[in-house]
Structure 1
Amino acid sequence: MNKFTDETDKETVNRLSQAAPLLAAIVDELNFTKAAERLNVQQSAISHRVRALEEKLGLTLFERSTKNLRLTAAGKILCEAARQSMSVWQPALDKLEKNQSADQIRLSLPSSLAMKWAIPILPNASSEGLSISLEVKDDLTDFHHDDTDAAIRFGVGPYPGLHAIHLTHCKIQAVVSPRFLNGVVDQSEQALLEQKMSLLSDRRGAKDNTGYHWQNYFEKTGSLIEPFTCKHQFDRADLMIQAAVSGMGIGLGRTLLIENDLKAGFLKTLGPSVNIESSYWLVCSASFAQSKRFKLLQHWLKKEIQATVNQSHAIQ
């Protein structure tokens, strides 16, 4: 019959879990006295706990002599498990401490949002008691493997397994640079939008199911141009918008990406703006959502977004 029956398994596992730091220290030092100093306990306490564990298991874990301490086969198995256990717990404890501290927040967000909106407002964070490090990443953040604290995502949502806060709804809007209009005879909105070869587009928006593409815009405004081909295509929204600023054609802007350029006079709106299903979301792990830093971050982001949206209304 197996010595470790169902009745004793739970108690044995609990004892081994409690003894993990002790066994890890002993195997590193191979000396009870040094292990005791490392753990800041009496040497007699080490000896007593090891003896009690051996009696519970019915196994000898260490071969003792006046000069040496050696591990038995059973001791090697358990001490290696103890080492592995400690290697897992220490990083977890470090991460937990980081989540609860007031250190810098690692915020992940798409490159377009970083360039056109987040970087200009970043200096404002310090007034809210925040220190933020931006991590530019167009792919989704894996919170289980990355050191990222939170991320801003653009999409329909929700995001299963993550804590998600809705930041703002989103509109899309045709925009054009005043320099593009130089020499254009018919500058009416309808005439400009019918210039199919003047349209600039973002490849990602056309295939990521966010609704950020010209086809969706024309369908919602009731002015569908069929068929049409964009003059230039880009891999990022900020590149497409910058091309519009440079006078290369008519860009498709969206909330938070065009307000600064509109305010500066680099762009002007063309035609109506339309709502899309996608929004901006603040997402993070459940543990970080309980931290004071998350609450500060959430408050600051919503305040900055509201200021940007109000600025857009004032321009229009």
Structure 2
Amino acid sequence: MRPRRNPPLIAARSFEAAARHENFQKAAHELHVTPTAVSHQVKRLEQYLGTQLFVRNNRAVSLTPDGQRLAARLDTLFSALEDVLDPARYAEAKPLRVTAMPSLAAKWLAHRVAEYALHAAFPVELTDDDRVVSFEKGDFDVALRYGDGNYPGVTVEAWMSAEVIAVCSPALPGAASLAASSDVLNYTLIHDSTVQLSGKPPGWMEWCELANTSLPPSHPCLRYSSVYVALEAARAGKGFALAPEPLVRDDLRQGHLVAPFRRRLENPYAFWIVYPHHLRRDSRVQAFVHWIKGCD
């Protein structure tokens, strides 16, 4: 492969701007230099090519025939170069890597992201993981988190509130006629480990306290490690489960679960959109954030 001759690209860029505007001052404004700098670069290009490119009058310049031909070629070349070096081209080619806790990924996110990815200008990769990820390794671009919103060193945007409601299968005997919140004590209560998190999202003990009753230590219960498994047990008619409303929204709409009580427990936790500071202007991240905030 033969070595390149290193043509004067800065001089060519200066000439292209001056030819397009037919004015050194306007070219200088575009290039953020002085008119004198543009004039010097044009003279350098004329010396390199051995031909005159501009006819210089007192207050105006006009292209020579050689200048016209070169201007047309350079316009095409610089337009192609701008297209090749457009950062958006490379940002859109990369997949957006999103991580979310498994219950959120399964109960709310998976099918919505699948629909979004059909029309997005970039691929979306969804990973379900309970661990709080570090963006420093570069494994993920966006994290959808359930917590108190205190995530230092990253950009955090509020997403969805997480009021907790009691749900059960519509096939659970007597569920349709329940009235008082304390009536849940007539059924098996399904627990999940999220109530053990720091900040403690409300559980059955808080539910019973607000219902002016207490939870007997020997009350029948089932215990699972995740909200997702607890909700699957509730769907199967094994008892009542507590869950943040967004995680049961689709099941309620589709009739897989019912929420017999109006009571909602306030939750110190909510859902948050988190991403590194350096991706605040990333077109993929901003498109995804705009979309997900508009989802129901």
**TM-score normalized with structure 2 length:** 0.64
Counterparts of 1:100 and 1:158, CA distance in 2: 32
- In the TM superposition, what is the alpha-carbon distance from 1:203 to its structure 2 partner? 1.4
Q: Which residue of 2 aligns with 1:278?
A: 269
Looking at structure 2, the residues matched to 254 and 227 of structure 1 have their Cα atoms a distance apart, in angstroms, of: 24
Distance 1:112 1:185, change over 3 A: closer
Q: Distance in 1 between matches of 2:5 and 2:208?
A: 74
Q: Which of 105, 113, 117 does residue 122 from structure 1 map onto?
A: 113
The one-letter code matched in structure 2 to 1:223 is N
Which residues of structure 1 form unaligned runs of 5+?
1-33, 43-96, 308-316
Q: Which moved more, 1:202-211 or 1:243-252?
A: 202-211
Which 4+ residue blocks in structure 1 deviate beyond 6 angstroms?
97-100
Equivalent position amino acid for 1:198 in 2: T
The residue aligned with 2:156 is 164
Two-structure CA RMSD over aligned residues (Å): 2.8
Alpha carbons of structure 1 residues 137 and 282: separation in structure 2 relative to 1, 3 Å = same
Aligned residues of 1:162 and 1:284 also touching (Cα < 8 A): yes
Alpha-carbon contact 1:128-1:300 (below 8 Å) kept:
no
Match of 1:174 in 2: 166
Contact 1:177 1:245 in 2 (8 A): yes
Secondary structure class of the residue paired with 2:137? coil
Q: Is the 8 A contact 1:130 1:297 kept in 2?
A: no
Alignment partner of 1:258 is 2:270: no
Find the aligned partners of 1:174 and 1:205 in 2 and give their Cα distance: 14
Aligned equivalents of 1:296 and 1:123: distance in 2? 15
How far off is 1:185 after superposition? 11
Check the 8 A contact 2:191/2:230 in 1, yes or no.
yes
- Gapped regions of structure 2 (runs ≥ 5): 7-86
What is aligned with 2:212?
223
Which has the higher Rg, Structure 1 or Structure 2?
2
Q: Retained in 1: the 8 A contact 2:189–2:221? A: yes
| Mapped partners of 2:91, 2:220: distance in 1 | 49
- Residue 260 of structure 2 aligns to a residue whose secondary structure is strand
Q: Residues 184-228 of structure 1: CA distance to partner in whole angstroms, max 9, x if unpaired?
A: 797444453123x61001113333424142223334x34342444
Pair 288,200 (structure 1): closer, same or farther in 2 beyond 3 Å: same
Instruction: Give the Cα separation in 2 of the matches to 1:120 and 1:110.
Output: 15
Secondary structure at the counterpart of residue 247 of structure 1 = coil
- Contact 2:99–2:140 under 8 Å retained in 1: yes
